[in-house]
Amino acid sequence: MSDLESILIFLFMIFYYVFFGFCLQKLAKRTNTQGSWMAWFPILNLVLIFSIAGKESQILLIFVPLVNLIVLINVWAEIAEQQNKSTFWGFLMLVPLFNLFVIYDLAFR
């Protein structure tokens, strides 16, 4: 991999992190969830996501392989339903790059 490719990948990762954090913070404020600042910190942003969905009791399931996929789909589907969107958005959050559109749509539309 060339230096240019490495730099572009690094810049995309920074963009992804900032965009996701910004949208998650906006979503937390939109749903009146306390602690919107947690959107900017790894692990704490998971706590925030589960709080927005109202499923704080399921957060430890995120550490169980394969179960975590089902739990994440369920959590994002619940958030989508709260925003009057199809629960299918929960499945779409697992699709790389498309999840950027989903989080944007949930936060701003």
- pLDDT, tens digit (0-9, with 9 covering 90-100), for 61-77: 999 999 999 999 999 99
- pLDDT, tens digit (0-9, with 9 covering 90-100), for 20-50: 999 999 999 999 999 999 999 999 999 999 9
This prediction has a pTM of 0.91
Output the CA–CA distances (angstroms, integers) from residue 23 to 27, 34, 41, in the order listed.
6, 15, 13
pLDDT the model gives residue 51: 96
pLDDT the model gives residue 109: 85
DSSP, res 30 = H
Which residue type does 16 have? Y
